[in-house]
Amino acid sequence: MSTQVNIHEAKTHFSRLVERAAAGEEIVIAKAGEPRARLVPLADAAPRRRTPGSMKGKIWLAPDWDSPEVNAEIAGLFDGADDFFDLESGESRRPD
Overall size of the chain counted in residues: 96
DSSP string, 66-84: T-HHHHHHHHHHHHT-S-E
- DSSP annotation of 45: -
94/14 Cα distance (integer angstroms): 60
Q: What is the pTM of this model?
A: 0.46
Q: What is the CA radius of gyration of the chain?
A: 29
For the chain, the domains span 2-39, 62-96
Structure confidence by residue, pLDDT tens digits, 55-71: 888 988 889 889 998 88
Q: Homologous superfamily of 2-39 in CATH? A: YefM-like domain (3.40.1620.10)
Residue 88, CB-side half-sphere exposure with 13 Å CA sphere: 1
Structure confidence by residue, pLDDT tens digits, 11-22: 999 999 999 999
76 or 62: which leads in pLDDT: 62
The amino acid occupying position 29 is: I
